[in-house]
Amino acid sequence: MNAEKDTVLTEVRGCTGVITLNRPAALNALTHSMVLAVTEALAAWEHDPLVRQVLVRGAGERGLCAGGDIRAIHADASTGGRASLDFWRDEYRLNARIAHYPKPYVAYMDGIVMGGGVGISAHGSVRIVTERSRVAMPETGIGFVPDVGGTHLLSRAPGELGTHLALTGIAVGAADALLCGLADHYVPSAHLDELTHGLTGAPAREILGPYEGGAVPGGELAAEREWIDRCYAADTVEEIHSRLLGSGLAAAREASEVLRTKSPTALKVTLAALRRARELGSLEAVLEQEYRVSGTALATPDLVEGIRAQVIDKDRMPRWSPPALAQVRPAQVERFFDPAEGAGGPVFP
């Protein structure tokens, strides 16, 4: 094997096809070749009678996957390239394949699970979180918009919890991931190796019970539903911000301060994307919308600037363009959803 191919390890253990994302030094961030390798493995096992289920996990101790390789996206966007469009098209097709996979798709959402990591796990049928799980769609902080079917998932969370997570980009633990419908089961991380061994001989749903850890470590969102639902039900980001500030609650004010750090354009496009995703219905329709939005974002200054500030230079001082919510006009937001803009062409021909 060459080094690039080694970034995804595949093997069949008993009745389970095991996929291991193997870039631990990069928190298993997804490259285009990794997406293609996972797709190839799923295709090979779909009709293999010896493979009864699939397990996806991350190498190392830090997490399943921190998202897409945003350094590569930064390089592409900085030079006016189009390679990211090909990556996203194949990644979004993989997200849909996972959602409709005919065999149980088991995902260990252990440790950091962000962006593309959510896409490769939360569309599965058996999604397992642990006490170490930190699940997030943090795209607004880099001038981007939740993708990989993230707007589909978050638009279906109870009340306005998904709007809160999408706009702020905050990471949640096991209990809140379960509450928001991003995961199904809680298993303490110490039990994962034993569970993996058990999966070699039986389907996950038949053996999960003994490995589940009882009480899930306490979450935060259930107790905050009242102000989250009230504030984030507003029609505009400006009104959401105003409601958060006017609530008189410390947690709401903290959320408003988080929003101040995000790209104003990304915030407005994200809110519009979530509202539209609620009406679109199918995952594929939402992924088509996300592809248009992502393609437009690739050509905007905020994506390059956001990645620079957060990942390249790490000064955490992005200079957004425009810098204020009031300066982002409706026509600028609408442009992200125009089929004539951005990527062009369908994800699912």
Q: What is each CA distance from 42 to 11, 52, 172, 320, in whole angstroms?
A: 11, 12, 29, 40
Active site residues: 68, 116, 139, 147
Phi, psi of 249 (to 5 degrees): -105, 135
Cβ neighbours of residue 146 under 8 Å, at least 6 residues apart? 115, 137, 139, 140, 154, 166, 270, 273, 290
The answer to whether residues 177 and 134 touch, using CB atoms and an 8 Å cutoff, is no
Write out the two tokens for 10. Answer: 């595949």
Which candidate, 312, 266, 240, places its Cα nearest to that of 139? 266
Classify residue 271 by burial, with Cβ atoms within 10 Å: 0-12, 13-18, 19+. buried
Amino acid at site 194: E
Query: Is the CA virtual torsion 326, 327, 329, 334 positive or negative?
Result: negative
Classify residue 157 by burial, with Cβ atoms within 10 Å: 0-12, 13-18, 19+. buried
Please list, residue by residue across 329-341, b when 16 or more beta carbons sit within 10 angstroms of its beta carbon and e when fewer do. Answer: eeebbebbbeeee
Amino acid at site 282: S
Give the H or E element holding residue 316.
none
Amino acid at site 161: L
